[in-house]
């Protein structure tokens, strides 16, 4: 029995999220169907991060166990030939059974891309968040400082979150303007359901002048989801990195043209 790890990128706008659904509309359904055809047996995957409907990834990592031996080309080019155009395997590694895509991840990295202009976007509507007010960067950076470190993030947790604990360690929270866009970068040991989108939504309140930077500290301390801003749209969210122990020698995520344009 071999354990195989794959890197996967996808445009999540046409899917109902990563996790399998009865309607078979999820990314996991498409990936497992293609893998099973190549393997000649049923394949079940475990991913690093179960992204929501409309969320994208340049660096999703999955693993699966398989009794069938196949060359690297089969797991990449063969599987890609069977996947929808919006999904692609970018690399493959034969890893030992000690590797686990979810529990072995040391940290996850997300980027959120926000367009702050008066007119809503049309061409890139499925790939950026949008707010009609101009956002000020420095107040958002000042607010972000209050969230760094190990905290109870209940105020930024979805009511549907199934995590046993609301405590997470937010290691980086960067806010930068890149031309017409504001880019948020968040790195943590793990994230709660909707945590990134709720944090970004609250930072946008600060950037738009609706709240002072110190408000984020009050929201965090309240541990009450109703105190924070509404959940921001999924379209601007990307899973862009998952870090594992160096002994697994996994490749870095492939950089998309979209990220190169923004200088990410």
pLDDT (tens digit, 9 = 90+) per residue, 60-101?
A: 999 999 998 899 999 999 999 999 999 999 999 999 899 999
Domain ranges of the chain: 2-104, 107-239
Q: Span 2-18, mean pLDDT?
A: 96
148 has pLDDT over 90: yes
259 has pLDDT over 80: no
Q: Which ranges constitute the DSSP H helices of the chain?
A: 27-39, 72-73, 79-82, 137-144, 195-207, 215-222, 257-262
Vertex 216: Cα angle to 225 and 228 (nearest 5): 25
How many CB atoms sit inside 10 A of residue 132's CB? Answer: 11
What is the distance between the alpha carbons of residues 36 and 33, in angstroms, rounded to a whole number?
5
252: pLDDT confidence band, cut at 50, 70 and 90? confident
24 has pLDDT over 60: yes
Report, as residue numbers or ranges, the catalytic residues.
52
Q: Span 150-159, mean pLDDT?
A: 96
pLDDT at position 162 is: 86
CATH of 2-104, one of 3.10.20.30, 3.30.830.10, 3.30.70.580, 3.10.180.10: 3.30.70.580
In the CATH hierarchy, which fold is given to the domain comprising 107-239? Alpha-Beta Plaits (3.30.70)
pLDDT > 70 in the chain, percent: 95
Q: Span 213-234, mean pLDDT?
A: 96
261 has pLDDT over 60: no
Residue-averaged pLDDT of the chain: 94
Residues 6+ apart with CB under 8 A from 77: none
1: pLDDT confidence band, cut at 50, 70 and 90? confident
258: pLDDT confidence band, cut at 50, 70 and 90? low
């Amino acid at each position: 029995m071999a354990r195989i790890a794959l890197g996967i990128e996808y445009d999540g706008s046409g899917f109902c999220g990563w996790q399998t659904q009865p309607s078979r509309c999820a990314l996991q359904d498409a990936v497992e169907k293609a893998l099973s055809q190549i393997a000649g047996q049923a394949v079940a995957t475990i991913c690093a991060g179960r992204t929501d409907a409309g969320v994208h990834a340049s660096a999703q990592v999955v693993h699966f166990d398989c009794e069938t031996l196949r060359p690297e080309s089969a797991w990449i080019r063969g599987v890609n030939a069977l996947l929808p155009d919006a999904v692609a395997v970018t690399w493959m590694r034969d890893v030992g059974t000690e590797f686990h895509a979810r529990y072995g991840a040391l940290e996850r990295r997300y980027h959120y891309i926000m367009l702050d202009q008066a007119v809503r976007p049309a061409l890139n509507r499925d790939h950026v968040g949008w707010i009609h007010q101009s956002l000020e960067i420095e107040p958002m950076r000042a607010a972000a400082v209050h969230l760094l470190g190990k905290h109870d993030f209940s105020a930024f947790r979805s009511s549907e979150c199934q995590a046993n604990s609301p405590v997470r360690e937010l290691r980086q929270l960067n806010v930068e303007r890149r031309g017409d866009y504001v880019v948020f970068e968040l790195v943590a040991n793990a994230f709660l359901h909707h945590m990134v989108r709720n944090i970004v939504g609250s930072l946008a309140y600060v950037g738009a002048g609706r709240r002072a930077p110190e408000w984020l500290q009050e929201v965090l301390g309240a541990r009450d989801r109703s105190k924070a801003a509404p959940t921001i749209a999924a379209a601007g969210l990307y899973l862009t990195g998952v870090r594992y122990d160096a002994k697994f020698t996994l490749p870095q995520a492939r950089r998309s043209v979209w990220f190169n344009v923004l200088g990410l």
